A and B are shown apart, each in its own frame.
Chain A
Amino acid sequence: MFVYLDNSSTTRQDPQVTRLMCRIMEENFGNPSSLHRLGLEAEKLMKKARQQVAQSMGAAAGEIFFTSGGTEADHIAIMGSARALKRMGNKIITSQVEHPAVLENFRALEQEGFQAVYLDVDEKGVIDLKQLEAELDENTVLVSLMQVNNELGSLEPVEQAGALIKKRSRANFHIDAVQGLGKLPVDPSSVKADLVAVSAHKIHGPKGCGALYMKKGTRLKSPVYGGGQEQGIRSGTENLPGDAGFGLAAELAAKEFSRRNQAMKEARRYLLEGIKAEIGDVRINSFEDERCVASVLNVSFLGTRGEVLLHMLEQKEIYVSTGSACSSHHKGQSHVLKAAGLSEEEMEGAIRFSFSHENTRQQMEYTLEQLKKAVESMRRVIRRK
């Protein structure tokens, strides 16, 4: 039985999305910037896609700018804010558990002379609002937080953070909502976000497509120069088939929001309860309740190696992800699990299961059964030491 449980890495593209994209690639190859009719048709399709993505986030179409993915959206938001606001101050704040798409921009800005603050997290990877409040000052020009942690699934308190940021500073507030879209309402105005990054391939859309939400009036100087497409925020000929695919995927995700989340929740609950009941000696790294998204479950199987479990499950056509690579050097360790304070053994045995609405009850039963076998066989080998 084929069981795909690595949906936080990427999802299977929805066949409806594929069909739409194929049709556009074959029939609407025009450049939206062209003045002739083919250009106009392309522009219409872009407009529709922009509306679909905007609606799925509760934003206006004029606030959505297509990018090549979540990483580029984060890059434009962070570097663009820092450049536009550097005269106001040089302090930038983020958390220790962000995705490299955020962290690496912060490191680059540190090189340029910005003072970066990396907020601590608790054992579930959640930031402390008091620490954020203490760090915020008049000198702060940017705060970037993730809505949902990609490894643990924990929800970050972005709404409260937004209120604090707007009260205490003049900073731009950027949210990396790549793991949130489709699993939580992403509503930039209620969380007082100026910028929000999202990605298509995490919601059954195409790879290589993302978007940046930017509130009207946000000060930003894009680091991408070129022909001025996307109102100068992201130059480069539009990826029309990809953006249209993203539009449809976002519309479907919004329309089926409840049904999909319910399905994920059930799969997650079944596996979580099963692991707790049938496989002893585990540490549930994710929150077990509503403080974790329905799509992620991170568990450490003590006395095992996550990477070996991964390969054993792969032999049974079950695909998961690990928190750390099996290596005698510590190259492969997850910075998230480390920041959350997991021990070496807990990190080594960590597996991330990430669900989609396509996962069924039978798949979870099969996964639990295979998982149990794999863990037991591995423990027999390792426990001897």
Chain B
Amino acid sequence: MEKVLIVKYGEIALKGMNKPYFERVLMERIRSCIKDYEEAQVWRYEGVVFVRANEPERMEEMAAEVARVFGVSTVSIAAEVESDMEVISQAAAEYMRQLRKERVIRTFKVETKRSNKQFPVTSPEISRRVGARILKTQNDDPAYPLTVDVHEPDCLLFIDVRRDKSYIYHDKHTGFGGLPLGTNGKGLVLLSGGIDSPVAAWMMAKRGMLIEAIHFHSYPYTSDRAKEKVVELTRILGGYCGRIKLHCVNLLEIQMAINEACPQEQMTILSRRFMMKIAQRLSQRIKADVLITGENMGQVASQTVQGLVVTDQSVQMPVMRPLIGMDKVDIMELAQKIGTFETSIQPFEDCCTVFLPKHPSTKPRLEKILDSEKALDQEGLIQRALEEMETITVQPGK
């Protein structure tokens, strides 16, 4: 029996006029993710995407990879047979025999979907006939009996009857859902090396946004290892988004200037505003539509509502904060799921504790912050930081 992947896409199916566009991008994303497989083919038929490759040994691996493509809701490995009642029954019985060798199945249920209404047998009747055939052929060993259980079966067997071909499958790889990458513009994420910002980037990418990243460090006041950590996080994100450009900016001169000229408790908020302004400047150059941050209401001193308002007013472009209302535990759980957590908790810091005020201002006032900024050569500082910027193209890791 030949095996194919059946890929279902949740939200895209709800789209109206734009549906073909989303489907086309989704297929492109799937194609590029499986391009290493021999004779890989991707096609769309009756609201489902099919994937075929001449690699019977790597079906599981391929299914898992396709399930990581944003926009995909489930992936199943299915046996493909002719749409003929006798052929389907026979194949289903054989499918079940193989499966029962791999794992213990004592109860089962058959569920049928018949998108080809011309098929002469109705869905419930197909289920009954296939079930009967399985029962008849699988009960030769009294020590390993098989019965039907429609409530809690060990195995739920799906039959999908389409015009020319029908599909038999039982298992699903759950995808992340969302929308295909590239269907929602480009965002520049401020990537710090902590737990939050990679999750924020991932969440926006899941909504179809292409990602570039900007990282701020204070070398030699911070270690090169902190930067390596961010490169590694970018590599992990690349497993979902492909190659990512990472722009590294040294903030040391700016921090020293603030340290020299401004009240100590404003250090954090002033640094944040500089980061945002530099990111905005870079966005214009790389044509990013929005900035993305991992900010989260109330998590640290600079993320109070007053802090966020004053940070926000440093730029004219929209700032996406997908984690704003989440709890830390939920963010950590997501970080674990996408695989960035272990890297994020390595102890190298991207901001030297030398510059951290003992009591950062939690309720900054915009007028005072603007006053402080007047004491600085903002334009010169920003320009020099951008001139010294280093851009790394990070290849994806799996």
Minimum CB–CB distance from B19 to chain A (whole Å) comes to: 51
Q: Are A385 and B264 in contact (CB under 8 A)?
A: yes
Known: A311-B219, A382-B354. A326 touches B349 (CB 8 A): yes
Q: CA of A329 to CA of B355 in the docked complex: distance in angstroms? A: 15
Minimum CB–CB distance from B302 to chain A (whole Å) comes to: 15
CB within 8 A of B220: which of A314, A328, A384, A385? A314
Q: Are B353 and A326 in contact (CB under 8 A)?
A: yes
Q: Which residues on B sit within 8 Å (CB–CB) of A343? A: none
Q: Are A311 and B354 in contact (CB under 8 A)?
A: no
Q: Are A311 and B349 in contact (CB under 8 A)?
A: no
Q: Are A308 and B354 in contact (CB under 8 A)?
A: yes
Q: Which residues on B sit within 8 Å (CB–CB) of A382? A: 354
- Binding site of B, secondary structure by majority: helix, strand, loop or mixed? loop
Q: Which residues on A sit within 8 Å (CB–CB) of B260? A: 384
Q: CA of A331 to CA of B353 in the docked complex: distance in angstroms? A: 14
Whether, in the assembled complex, B336 has its beta carbon less than 8 Å from a beta carbon of chain A, the answer is no
Q: Which of A110-131 contact B (CB under 8 A)?
A: none
Q: Are A328 and B349 in contact (CB under 8 A)?
A: yes
Q: Are B264 and A307 in contact (CB under 8 A)?
A: no
Q: CA of A54 to CA of B373 in the docked complex: distance in angstroms? A: 68
Q: Are A311 and B223 in contact (CB under 8 A)?
A: yes
- Interface size of B by CB at 8 A reads 18
Whether, in the assembled complex, A146 has its beta carbon less than 8 Å from a beta carbon of chain B, the answer is no
Q: Which residues on B sit within 8 Å (CB–CB) of A308? A: 220-221, 352, 354
Whether, in the assembled complex, A315 has its beta carbon less than 8 Å from a beta carbon of chain B, the answer is yes
User: Which residue in chain B gives the minimum CB-CB distance to A325?
Assistant: B347
Whether, in the assembled complex, A204 has its beta carbon less than 8 Å from a beta carbon of chain B, the answer is no
- Binding site of A, secondary structure by majority: helix, strand, loop or mixed? loop
Q: Are A311 and B264 in contact (CB under 8 A)?
A: no
Q: Are A307 and B223 in contact (CB under 8 A)?
A: yes
- Interface size of A by CB at 8 A reads 18
Q: Are B220 and A312 in contact (CB under 8 A)?
A: yes
Whether, in the assembled complex, A327 has its beta carbon less than 8 Å from a beta carbon of chain B, the answer is yes
CB within 8 A of B354: which of A305, A315, A325, A331? A305
Q: Are A326 and B352 in contact (CB under 8 A)?
A: yes
Q: CA of A60 to CA of B397 in the docked complex: distance in angstroms? A: 54
Whether, in the assembled complex, B256 has its beta carbon less than 8 Å from a beta carbon of chain A, the answer is yes
Q: Are A311 and B220 in contact (CB under 8 A)?
A: yes
Q: Are B354 and A384 in contact (CB under 8 A)?
A: no
User: Which residue in chain B gives the minimum CB-CB distance to A307?
Assistant: B223
Known: A311-B219, A311-B223. A381 touches B354 (CB 8 A): yes
CB within 8 A of A331: which of B219, B256, B347? B347
Q: Are A384 and B259 in contact (CB under 8 A)?
A: yes
Q: Are A315 and B220 in contact (CB under 8 A)?
A: yes
Whether, in the assembled complex, B40 has its beta carbon less than 8 Å from a beta carbon of chain A, the answer is no
Q: CA of A188 to CA of B42 in the docked complex: distance in angstroms? A: 74
Q: CA of A312 to CA of B221 in the docked complex: distance in angstroms? A: 8
Minimum CB–CB distance from A346 to chain B (whole Å) comes to: 17
Give chain B's interface residues, CB within 8 Å of chain A.
Answer: 219-224, 256, 259-260, 264, 347, 349, 352-356, 358
Q: List 28 A-B contacts (CB under 8 A).
A: A305-B352, A305-B353, A307-B223, A308-B220, A308-B221, A308-B352, A311-B219, A311-B220, A311-B221, A311-B222, A311-B223, A311-B224, A314-B220, A325-B347, A326-B349, A326-B352, A326-B353, A327-B347, A327-B349, A328-B349, A328-B353, A328-B356, A381-B354, A381-B355, A384-B259, A384-B264, A385-B264, A385-B358
Give chain A's interface residues, CB within 8 Å of chain B.
Answer: 305, 307-308, 311-312, 314-315, 325-329, 331-332, 381-382, 384-385
